[in-house]
Amino acid sequence: MPTLTTRPTLSDFQQYVTELEAERGFDEQTVLDKCLMLGEEVGELFKAVRKQQGLKMDPNSQTGQLSGELADVFIFLCSIANRYDIDLETAFREKEAINHTRTWE
């Protein structure tokens, strides 16, 4: 079973996701599989936000915890990045360097 250090880096999380997918037999899923599953998880996240905001919902509808849904989205994001060999920390830093040059009005 994969483990994380007490204060993992983003790279540690990506490695953890690689290991957990292998252990659970999800490593053969395609990028398309992962993207579709990410979409499902984003929907569940939005539903959890609706619940958190007190919006009307079907009382028989099951809704996950907001923190758990955010974690699911993060796992699938790491999984997709891993399939393209993208280091998310590097990608984040590069994108923020671009964003610093933009004007926000």
- What is the residue-wise DSSP string for 42-85? HHHHHHHHHHHTT----TT-----HHHHHHHHHHHHHHHHHHTT
Give the sign of the dihedral formed by CA 28, CA 30, CA 71, CA 41.
Answer: negative
Region 8-33: mean pLDDT is: 97
pTM value?
A: 0.92
How do residues 35-84 score in pLDDT, each as one tens digit?
999 999 999 999 999 999 999 999 888 999 999 999 999 999 999 999 99
- Whole-number average pLDDT of the chain: 96
Pick the CATH number of 10-100 from 3.40.50.150, 1.10.287.1080, 3.40.47.10, 1.20.1440.230: 1.10.287.1080
pLDDT band at 105 (very low <50, low <70, confident <90, very high): confident
